[in-house]
Amino acid sequence: MTDTLPSIYAETNAVTPLDDSVAERLLTTQSPQRPQSTPRIRIEVDGRVVEGFEGQTILEVCRDNGIEIPTLCYEPKLPGFGACRMCVVEVEGEEHPPISCSRTCEPEMVVKTQTAEVRRLRRTNLELIFSDHNAYCLPPCQNKCPSHIDIPGFLKANAEANFTESTRIFKRTIPFPSVLGRVCPAPCEEHCRRDEVDEAIAIRDSHRYAGDQVIKSMLDDGIDPPVPFDIQPRSGRRAAVIGSGPAGMAAAYYLLIAGHDVTVFERDPAPGGMLRYGIPQYRLPKVEVLEAEYESVIRLGGKIVCNAELGKNLTLDDLQNQGFDAIVVAIGCYDTNKLGVPNEDAAEVLDGLEYLRTATLGLPYPGHAGKRVVVVGGGFTSMDCSRTSIRQGAAEVTLVYRRDMKDMPASNEVHEAIEEGVTAIFQAGPTRVITDDKGKVTGIEFIRMKPGAPDASGRRRPEPASGTEFTIPCDRVLLAIGQGPDLSWIGPGSEGPQPTKQRRLKADAVTFLTDRAGTFGTGDVRVGAATVVQAIAEGRRSAYAVDAYLKGLDLGAIKTRQQLAEPQPEFLSIVPFTSEQKEPRYRLKALEPELRNHNYIEYEIPYSREEVVAESSRCLQCTCEAIGFCDLRRLGIEYGTTLQTLEPQNHQGAGFRSVTENRFTGVNHDYIRDDSHAFILREPSRCIDCGRCAQVCSEVVGAACYDFMRIGFDTLVTTPLDMSLNDTPCVSCGRCAETCPTGALMPKPRVLQKYEVDESRCILCGICVDACPYDALRDGGDFELSHTSRAEPMIDLIALAAVDMETEMTYIRRERDWVERAAADGRSVTPTRLLPMLPAAVAAQIAKGETGGNGNGHGNGHVPALTAGNGQSGGDHAGHGHG
Amino acid sequence: MTTILRTPPTWPGILLSRVEVADPLDLEAARDRGSFAGLRRAVHDLGATGTIATVAASGLRGRGGAGFPTGAKWRSAAGTEASRRYVVANGYGADPSSMTDRTLMERNPYAVLEGAIAAAAAIGASEAIIAVRSDATDAIRALETALTRMIAANLAGDDILGSGASVEVSIRPVQGAYMLGEETVLLKALEGKRGQPEQRPPQPAQRGLFGHPTIVQNVQTLAAVPWILANGAEAFAAVGSKASPGTMLIALRAPGGGGVAEVPIGTPLRDIVGLAGKDTVKDLKAILVGGPAGGILPAELADTAYEFEALRAVGAHIGSGSIVVADKRACIVDLARLLTRFCADEACGKTIPCRIGLRRVSEIGDRVATGVPRPTDGQLLADLSSDIVGSALCDHERLATLPFASGMRYFRFELDEHILRSSCPAGVCRPIAVAAGAAH
């Protein structure tokens, strides 16, 4: 016995059931057999003949045959319930459309699942649900981000100091966290809910830190930056991207992940576009950050060809002849708009972009030092021009903007510019440039502007106030009043694409197709000069379309799919988070203005590790936990009930509306979140009263914690008297959260990472094993409770036969001393077959009669009781068995 | 006690023919007036198949509102293989404006019990349950006394009249809401569950109470059965209209007065309304037929026959047997919105169109009546109502759209005045009346 343990199965026959016992009957009686085969029937669905079994519902037959019918209240484990009315289908010859989850199939039935009639009924139902769905999907920050980054997601990873994961989450929507961490205007932060407690989260600075860590480990330790998705197998298709700015590189990045070969063509000597030639070094270090970020594209296999300019030494025909299957035009906006005032062609009136281009290369612009400079405009370019002029030693720099400061696109940067010595004048527009007789600029005349009626962007349109002209004497004027794309390349060799009336490249907002087959337009060239984050969002979305094109999918069909993939901006009821502890924002420190205004060193001092973790922990995580799993949201998007278009104007604020807003908007319910239970979070405001939890809880689990309560419009599926789940017979199995089609019932997020069993208190009941819905606790050799295995010998049956009235308690007690009783009954039991998977070393100890102290958590309880045969119950030994 | 309206002597009496008897619970007196002859004939002469055939031949249709042929229902239940079957008499009388069921059970409990027992014997049910609203204490007391006496006279219980058939009858007071008028909801309540409807098919006749075949019959339907069995199918078929023979109890409410009356099915509405007094017909503006979820019919349609198909064709239904008369002072929009609100508040909350949709209909009504309508409300009302009907689970939601649907069909002018001109022609809706007054 000390050498090998015989197989437990060898001795299974040692226990023979007594004749004519309950046990024997239990063992020998077979359960009723199903008929060998259920008759099959055929029905016609949407013009297709499909086969099902007799007795199946229409829904079951359709699902078995891959025909999707939307449901909300249908729980596959249970018979159809019929509450949501989403699965209505049309059956030929019936007046009212039946619901497919409850309707049994009849042979030769003709079913239509997608007629205009049933789709209208489903849509109405969804609208009714949404009109009483006092909840939100996305947090406002994610909502407002043009690229819809999962902001709570990466902040959570940041709070756990997992910067690689944080960056990976970020890269799902934006490939360049460090670049955006420096240059993004952060529209997300303006809408942060934490603002209602104390101050908005520093979202941008937080991902800047995470991105920098990834770059650091890439440069220092050669660790590849994380890739957000699995890289697809090579497709063999080739895509050319023209322009290596943010839009082009983002498109290239996601196309590479999708498995295509990508070559990026750049007209300048180095890649980067506006990021390299438009944004100064002090805001975005070129080598340390920009090139390091672009490295991630190159590591995925992207090729960059520089000095290739569309229209000069490159045409669309060339690229197609070179074998590129798709061409993405992302050449940005480089044509500065004209003022439209007299004398603006004077020599010293400079294009702001042209000026910056020289400056960002690190070269001083000729004759800039000592000049009096006026910068016209209020965007990021004007800010860069002003602050670069200061750094290049201009005698005085005046910034003039025609609207108020709060309307300025770059308003958060203006304070820094003023600190550095820029004079800012608001609400004034140029009327003429004043030159002397030699054509040299001596000044520029402005007129005061007063706010007029609001325009499409919601800002008030400035109108000149006559008689308020004034002159600013100066030597040089920098124009930064916006840019448009250069479309002069359209023509021979690159025929096909058309410009729009606004002088942009005409391309669809979803498919990004231009008027030339296989050619896509994205980024600033399509929408006009915008922010970096908008350009990247454009690039990423166009990559979806190009990918679909390269895979030969129907581009018309990608509209729906892209809408599904793209988080939809939806608005929100604001929940006050007043109970949160006040903890102000960690502000980024900056170099003193006197130190920074003459050099190009990056002036913002990044967070320390402690600061970024503390700042990220401030996030309230106010997202709906069910996002991505929510059937209601999926159907809402599919049926267009909450759909917002992807058009830019809807991205910019005015286009948002509340989830509850549709033609049926009326009174709705606002329930209180119940987080009293340790495992299950209840958010009744998100409940759609489908009744799935109530059904599953009573029919499958047997606990019956939930039911419909109250009547009429106020009906809600909840616990009796809305009591806490703790006071119901809840067994914490989580099935309700599993079945909930929305986020009304969710597994509660917990930080608990590992369970520990206090064996001194364990009574070896095995209920945890039985109750665990995910088999996390199991009977097995490595598990401390393995000897309570239900699969082990048929003692239970023998024991059952001997007892008339069975209760759970007697059952447990008996199970624990079954060995003694089996011995007393004269049934042969050997200790070995009780220890199915005991390690040999432990078995040896047992054989020697030691009573524990093996230290590895195995073999407690029964073992000594058996070998000693003293009839002690196992539990008594558990305590010292592990000393 | 409810007033029983005097009906013309030519109108036949089937259900309340024992109403003049001072003590309706006197078993011997009832027997003298012809009670229990039907049951005796059923268990001794006709047998199960014969009983069902007689009921089917009589053309009797369910009085619960849907008018389903009773014989067909019994045949379906009897033909479904089962270990046990049930008869449930629906005496719940959910409609607060209709006291018909209650009156019948108080005045003629023997007919209800006799009909239930005959039905049970016919379909092979061993149990008959009379479900009564728990606050109808008079009806419960009457039924219980009657049942005790019937058991003593061997008319119920084991081996009825020596025929070998045994039917256990129980009186079940149930508490609940308006929805219990629906068959499947009542069955749920009897099972001890929350009263919510089940998707049909399967019909309760195939799978009903506790999963067994169950016929759910209104007490009026059952009360007609003994008469049919005693007098023959032909005699019954001669009463009332051809498509729906027999009589029905209706509950009439009019400004001049009201009460319960037994009327032959097929009687013109005008004659029924006339039972409340001559002036009622003169000042008539609209008739609400069918209870809170009924249709609002204009005076021009007063000649419509009170009959299942005729009423359905004009956008109303028999429903609970309630007939409410509105005179010139009533505002149809106001009436419709109150009715819809009642139906919305009484919904069980199971389905989306019912729980939220009906509420939205009533909100549209509120907006219109309080003078703050949205310009699209007229269209929205029509669209929403038709979609609710389209994806409805039970008749409650389907019919609850009727007040507005029929109101808009016949009184479109009034609704338009409310929406477009913010004025209430009847001067009922107050904020609008104020607005209209200020405009002058």
Query: Which residues, at least 6 apart from A313, have a Cβ–Cβ distance to it below 8 Å?
Result: A307
DSSP A155-191: HHHHHTT-HHHHHHHHHTT-S-HHHHHHH---HHHHT
The closest alpha carbon to A719, from A702, A707, A729, A701, belongs to A707
CA distances from A699 to A31, A707, A775, A824, A838 (A): 22, 12, 20, 41, 39
> CB-based contact (8 Å) between B384 and chain A?
yes
> Which B residues, 397 through 436, put their C-beta within 8 Å of a C-beta on chain A?
none
Measured distance CA(A399)–CA(A393) in Å, rounded: 16
- Give the residue-averaged pLDDT of A318-334: 92
B404 φ, ψ to 5°?
-75, -40
Tell me how far the alpha carbon of residue A279 is from its chain's centroid: 29
How much is the pTM?
A: 0.69
- Give the residue-averaged pLDDT of A447-471: 82
Angle between helices B109-123 and B70-79 (to 10 degrees): 40
> CB-based contact (8 Å) between A664 and chain B?
yes
Contact B60, B245 (CB under 8 A): yes
Nearest by CB to A96, from B346, B356, B390: name it: B390
- Within 8 A of A131 by CB-CB distance, chain B residues are 356, 360
pLDDT recorded at residue A50: 92
Query: Which residues, at least 6 apart from A209, have a Cβ–Cβ distance to it below 8 Å?
Result: A158, A163, A181, A606, A607, A609, A612
- Supply A212's token pair: 């920098």
> CB-based contact (8 Å) between B368 and chain A?
no
pLDDT recorded at residue A778: 65
**pLDDT-based confidence at residue A706 (cuts at 50, 70, 90):** very high
For residue A663, the chain B residue with the least C-alpha distance is: B380
A823 φ, ψ to 5°?
-65, -40
Tell me, what DSSP letter sits at residue A431? E
Beta strands in B203-273 (DSSP E): 214-218, 247-254, 257-264
- Within 8 A of B356 by CB-CB distance, chain A residues are 128-129, 131-132, 664, 713
Contact B51, B121 (CB under 8 A): yes
Counting one residue from chain A and one from chain B, the pairs whose CB atoms sit within 8 A come to: 111
Q: What is the pLDDT along chain B (440 residues), one digit of tens a residue?
A: 578 888 888 888 888 876 666 788 888 888 888 889 999 999 999 989 999 999 999 999 998 888 899 999 999 999 988 889 999 999 988 888 788 999 999 989 999 999 999 999 999 999 999 999 998 999 999 999 999 999 999 999 998 898 888 999 999 999 878 888 888 999 999 998 888 898 888 889 999 999 899 999 999 999 999 999 999 999 999 998 989 999 999 999 988 788 999 999 999 999 999 888 877 777 889 999 998 999 999 999 999 999 999 999 999 999 889 999 998 888 999 999 999 999 999 998 999 999 999 999 999 999 898 888 888 888 999 999 999 999 888 888 899 999 999 998 999 999 888 888 888 888 888 765 444 444 33
Contact A386, A422 (CB under 8 A): yes
Contact A129, A689 (CB under 8 A): no
For residue B358, the chain A residue with the least C-alpha distance is: A713
Query: Which residues, at least 6 apart from B115, have a Cβ–Cβ distance to it below 8 Å?
Result: B89, B217, B221, B222, B223, B224, B225, B226
Measured distance CA(A182)–CA(A606) in Å, rounded: 10
Q: What is the pLDDT of residues A183-207, one digit of tens each?
A: 998 888 887 878 777 888 999 999 9
Q: Which of A74, A85, A117, A121 to mutate to test the interface with B (most CBs of B within 10 A)?
A: A85
Q: What is the pLDDT of residues A570-626, one digit of tens each?
A: 434 334 444 556 777 888 888 888 878 777 778 788 888 889 998 988 888 777 777
- Supply A516's token pair: 């030339």
The closest alpha carbon to A487, from A502, A466, A472, belongs to A502
> CB-based contact (8 Å) between B118 and chain A?
no
Between strands B247-254 and B257-264, the pairing is antiparallel
Asked if the interface predicted TM-score (ipTM) of this complex is over 0.85, the answer is yes
pLDDT recorded at residue A650: 37
More confident residue, A371 or A781: A371
> Which A residues, 697 through 726, put their C-beta within 8 Å of a C-beta on chain B?
707-708, 710-716
Task: Answer left, alpha or beta for residue B191, where phi above 0 means left and psi between -120 and 50 means alpha.
Answer: alpha
> CB-based contact (8 Å) between B363 and chain A?
yes
pLDDT recorded at residue A606: 84
Contact A539, A330 (CB under 8 A): yes
- Within 8 A of A130 by CB-CB distance, chain B residues are none
Contact A694, A688 (CB under 8 A): no
B325 φ, ψ to 5°?
-105, 130
> CB-based contact (8 Å) between B353 and chain A?
yes
Query: Which residues, at least 6 apart from A52, have a Cβ–Cβ distance to it below 8 Å?
Result: A40, A41, A42, A43, A60, A61, A64, A65, A105
For residue A100, the chain B residue with the least C-alpha distance is: B199
The closest alpha carbon to A259, from A240, A238, A231, A224, belongs to A231
- Give the residue-averaged pLDDT of A443-450: 90
- A107: three-class secondary structure by DSSP: coil
Residue the block writes with tokens 């959910």: B94
For residue A668, the chain B residue with the least C-alpha distance is: B356
Measured distance CA(A795)–CA(A785) in Å, rounded: 17
SS3 track for A726-788: HHCCCCCCCHHHHHCCCCCEEECCCCCCCCCCCCCCCCCCCHHHHHCCCCCCCCCCCCCCHHH
Beta strands in A46-138 (DSSP E): 48-53, 90-91, 110-112
Contact B103, B145 (CB under 8 A): no
> CB-based contact (8 Å) between B360 and chain A?
yes
**How crowded is the C-beta side of A743, counted as CA atoms within 13 Å?**
21
pLDDT recorded at residue B435: 44
Nearest by CB to A711, from B199, B346, B357: name it: B346
- Supply A390's token pair: 């200061």
Between strands A110-112 and A40-45, the pairing is parallel
Q: What length does chain B have?
A: 440
Q: Which of B387, B393, B396 to mutate to test the interface with A (most CBs of A within 10 A)?
A: B387
> CB-based contact (8 Å) between A70 and chain B?
no
pLDDT recorded at residue B237: 93
Chain B nearest C-alpha distance from A106 (Å):
13
Name residue A223's amino acid: I
pLDDT recorded at residue A149: 86
Element (H, E) at A261: strand A261-265
For residue B394, the chain A residue with the least C-alpha distance is: A82
If one counts every other C-beta atom within 10 angstroms of the C-beta of residue B21, the result is 15
- Supply B295's token pair: 């249709």
- Within 8 A of A97 by CB-CB distance, chain B residues are 390-391
Residue the block writes with tokens 């750049």: A266
> Which B residues, 155 through 214, put their C-beta within 8 Å of a C-beta on chain A?
177, 179, 194, 196, 198-199, 201
Measured distance CA(B184)–CA(B167) in Å, rounded: 23
End-to-end CA gap in chain A:
26
- Supply A783's token pair: 């598990």
Nearest by CB to B363, from A96, A666, A707: name it: A666
Contact B146, B138 (CB under 8 A): no
- Least confident residue range of A346-355, A500-509, A569-578: A569-578
Chain B nearest C-alpha distance from A731 (Å):
22
Contact A763, A769 (CB under 8 A): no
* Contact yes or no for A712 and B349 at CB 8 A: yes
Contact B259, B2 (CB under 8 A): yes
Nearest by CB to A128, from B352, B376, B392: name it: B352
A558 φ, ψ to 5°?
-70, -15
**pLDDT-based confidence at residue A841 (cuts at 50, 70, 90):** low
Percent of chain A's residues with pLDDT above 70: 76
Burial status of residue A461 (CB atoms within 10 A of its CB: 0-12, 13-18, 19 or more) = middle
* Contact yes or no for B350 and A708 at CB 8 A: yes
Q: Which of B188, B206, B348, B356 to mutate to test the interface with A (most CBs of A within 10 A)?
A: B356
Opening angle at CA A737, ends A735 and A742, nearest 5: 140
Nearest by CB to B391, from A88, A132, A713: name it: A88
End-to-end CA gap in chain B:
49
For residue B367, the chain A residue with the least C-alpha distance is: A666
Measured distance CA(A285)–CA(A405) in Å, rounded: 27
Chain B nearest C-alpha distance from A117 (Å):
9
- Torsion sign (Cα): A787, A789, A791, A795: positive
pLDDT recorded at residue A509: 83
* Contact yes or no for A711 and B345 at CB 8 A: yes
Opening angle at CA B294, ends B291 and B297, nearest 5: 120
Tell me, what DSSP letter sits at residue A7? P
Measured distance CA(A352)–CA(A375) in Å, rounded: 8
- A143: three-class secondary structure by DSSP: helix
Q: Give the gyration radius of chain B's Cα atoms.
A: 22
> CB-based contact (8 Å) between B237 and chain A?
no
Measured distance CA(A721)–CA(A805) in Å, rounded: 35
* Contact yes or no for B349 and A713 at CB 8 A: yes
* Contact yes or no for A132 and B356 at CB 8 A: yes
pLDDT recorded at residue A620: 81
Between strands B284-289 and B322-327, the pairing is antiparallel
If one counts every other C-beta atom within 10 angstroms of the C-beta of residue B200, the result is 16
**pLDDT-based confidence at residue A705 (cuts at 50, 70, 90):** very high
- Within 8 A of A688 by CB-CB distance, chain B residues are 352
> CB-based contact (8 Å) between B312 and chain A?
no
Burial of A246-272, coded b for 16+ CB within 10 Å and e otherwise, reads bbbbbbbbbbbbbbbbbbbbbbbebbb
Give the mean pLDDT of chain A: 79
**pLDDT-based confidence at residue A35 (cuts at 50, 70, 90):** low
Say if residue A649's pLDDT is above 70. no
Element (H, E) at A580: none
Measured distance CA(B377)–CA(A613) in Å, rounded: 53
Nearest by CB to A711, from B348, B352, B376: name it: B348
Contact A206, A612 (CB under 8 A): yes
- Supply A129's token pair: 């649900």
- Within 8 A of B201 by CB-CB distance, chain A residues are 103-104
* Contact yes or no for B384 and A664 at CB 8 A: yes
* Contact yes or no for A121 and B363 at CB 8 A: no
More confident residue, A12 or B350: B350
